[in-house]
């Protein structure tokens, strides 16, 4: 969404009188191990949601009350697609997907009108060959611009200190606007962390050493800016980060829609004992010279933030920035969340850690912890103006944390967070709304659920300025809830 928060003040837990209205779709059969779904959005008066059933593809069209008005069978889709993303526009939607045929994976984009009917023919945008084990030489991911008027596939591999990548992008009429392949030097322990396709057609690629760093922190990072010159050629600039002695939990990029040559970045810094030290943030000028170092400001926190951010039920200080909201004055609102993943085993073997392969009969499981949400307000000079925390504690085992984390709605003047309370007796859903007057309100959402269905906030989609659509899964049943604030 292109909504931009104008400012954010110190937040207090006071009642501000906001409410929510809920609309549920009817439940439908769904096998989460085999089937797919993708929440699109509004195309004129239809809310579009894609899903598969018995390897066939369908599109549901809902009205404002989540009453299903039509089920469209997408007969052009391959059997059992592997990846699907539905992207709405004002008059049509774009469906990007991949299909497995023999030992190859094909990537397509199709256009659907407001009634879900295909417009023209699907466009093939890339092909991936697989080896005997079903793996591809390259990693693939879908990309799309903020306005969804450009979509495509980004593929890459890192090998022999080189980053090989390919980009293919089509416009909303399925015309190829750019397709090129490149090789740039890179350190072998880097990994691609984020890819941005800007509305003007430029690409921003962030690579970091986070995946290989034993301390779960970023010590080195690089940004590549790809400037298309025509359909087949592009110029590339590299911007290495100069962290100095700073170590950050992660780096997150956000484009500035008011100044298209600026990319904002931020990461939370960590102390020796795992405490929050501060925030490292700044801006990248994409018009700067090639190999211009990127140096941000490291603003130190006081002890009050560490005390507010620390979860009462356990010490999870590893806060990771999940989103950045760029303000009209050039400042930023950083949204971060505490997260930890712990591998445990009952094998009490030699060494300091009871973690490893163990012997026969060893039980190995993974615990997922999602803690507090920490919101930081920075001014245009990257100085901390205010902060707030939303307390929560979510723990689960061997489920990838699917029901944890949160869904964020940004209206431009308020931020709404929807998240599950997984510890209290009797399942419930909470929402916390933050407004520009420095107030916040947390309230329980009446779930209106029957059976064992649970909301999946992290897979929710903002479909309008004050509306979220969130999937609800229980057993082999799926439905969707529309939350209006």
pLDDT digit string (tens) for 408-438? 999 888 899 999 987 766 678 999 998 755 5
Residue 7 has pLDDT above 60, yes or no: no
What does the mean pLDDT of the chain come to? 87
Model confidence pLDDT, tens digit, residues 240-258: 999 988 889 899 999 998 8
Q: How many alpha carbons fall within 13 Å on the CB side of residue 455?
A: 30
- pLDDT above 90 (res 143): yes
Handedness of CA 147, 148, 152, 153 (dihedral sign): positive
Specify the length of the chain in residues: 485
Q: Which pair of structure tokens corresponds to residue 339?
A: 């997260």
**Whether pLDDT at 398 is above 90:** no
CA–CA dist 324, 252 (Å, integer)? 8
Predicted local distance difference test score (pLDDT) of residue 131: 67
Residue 304, SS3 per DSSP: helix
Of 394, 402, 381, 398, nearest in space to 430 by CA: 394
pLDDT tens, position by position, 89-125: 999 999 999 998 888 899 999 999 999 999 999 999 9
CA distance 236 to 227: 6
Q: Look at 409 and 2; give whichever has higher pLDDT.
A: 409
User: What is the pTM assigned to this prediction?
Assistant: 0.89
Q: Sheet holding 150-159: strands in order across?
A: 139-144, 150-159, 162-171, 176-185
| Per-residue model confidence as pLDDT tens digits over 8-25 | 333 333 334 467 899 999
Q: What percent of the chain has pLDDT over 90?
A: 61
Q: Any idea which of 180-184, 393-397, 421-425 has the lowest mean pLDDT? A: 421-425
Residue 253: its H or E element:
strand 252-255
Q: What angle do CA 348, 350, 351 make, to 5 degrees?
A: 110
The CATH-assigned architecture of domain 12-350+362-484 is 8 Propeller (2.140)
Q: How confident is the model at residue 475 (pLDDT cuts 50, 70, 90)?
A: confident
Model pLDDT, residue 420: 94
Average pLDDT over residues 443-457: 78
pLDDT band at 221 (very low <50, low <70, confident <90, very high): very high
- Give residue 347's pLDDT: 54
């Amino acid at each position: 969404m292109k909504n931009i928060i104008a400012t954010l003040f110190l937040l207090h837990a006071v009642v501000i009188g906001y409410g929510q209205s809920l609309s549920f779709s009817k439940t439908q059969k769904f096998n989460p191990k085999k089937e797919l779904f993708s929440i699109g959005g509004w195309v004129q008066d239809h809310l579009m949601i894609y899903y598969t059933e018995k390897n066939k593809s369908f599109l549901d069209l809902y009205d404002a009350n989540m009453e299903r008005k039509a089920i469209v069978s997408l007969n052009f889709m391959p059997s059992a697609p592997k990846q699907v993303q539905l992207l709405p526009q004002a008059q049509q939607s774009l469906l990007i997907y991949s299909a497995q045929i023999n030992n190859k994976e094909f990537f397509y984009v199709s256009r659907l009108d407001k009634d879900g009917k295909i417009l023209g023919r699907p466009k093939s945008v890339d092909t991936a060959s697989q080896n005997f084990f079903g793996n591809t030489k390259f990693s693939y991911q879908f990309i799309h611009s903020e306005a969804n008027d450009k979509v495509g596939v980004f593929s890459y591999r890192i090998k022999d200190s080189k980053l090989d990548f390919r980009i293919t992008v089509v416009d909303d009429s399925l015309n190829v606007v750019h397709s090129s392949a490149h090789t740039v030097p890179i350190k072998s322990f880097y990994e691609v962390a984020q890819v941005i396709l800007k509305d003007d057609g430029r690409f921003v690629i962030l690579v970091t050493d986070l995946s290989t760093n034993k301390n779960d922190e970023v010590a080195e990072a690089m940004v590549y800016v790809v400037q298309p010159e025509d359909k087949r050629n592009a110029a590339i600039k590299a911007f290495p980060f100069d962290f100095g002695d700073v170590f950050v939990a992660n780096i997150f990029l956000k484009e500035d829609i008011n100044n298209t040559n600026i990319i904002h970045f931020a990461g939370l810094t960590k102390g020796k004992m795992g405490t929050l030290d501060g925030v490292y943030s700044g801006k990248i000028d994409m018009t700067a010279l090639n190999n211009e170092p990127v140096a941000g400001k490291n603003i130190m926190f006081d002890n009050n933030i560490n005390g507010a951010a620390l979860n009462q039920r356990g010490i999870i200080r590893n806060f990771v920035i999940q989103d950045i909201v760029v303000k009209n004055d050039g400042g930023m609102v950083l949204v971060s969340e505490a997260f930890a993943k712990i591998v445990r085993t009952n094998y009490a073997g030699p060494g300091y850690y009871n973690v490893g392969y163990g012997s026969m009969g060893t039980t190995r499981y993974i615990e997922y912890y999602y803690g507090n949400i920490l919101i930081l307000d920075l001014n245009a000079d990257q100085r901390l103006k205010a902060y707030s925390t939303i307390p929560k504690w979510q723990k689960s085992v061997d489920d990838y944390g699917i029901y944890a984390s949160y869904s964020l709605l940004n209206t431009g003047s308020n931020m709404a967070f929807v998240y599950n309370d997984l510890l209290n007796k009797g399942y419930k859903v909470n929402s916390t709304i933050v407004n520009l007057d420095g107030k916040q309100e947390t309230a329980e959402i009446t779930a209106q659920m029957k059976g064992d269905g649970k909301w999946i906030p992290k897979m929710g989609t903002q479909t309008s300025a004050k509306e979220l659509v969130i999937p609800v899964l229980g057993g082999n049943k799926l439905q969707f809830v529309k939350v209006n604030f």
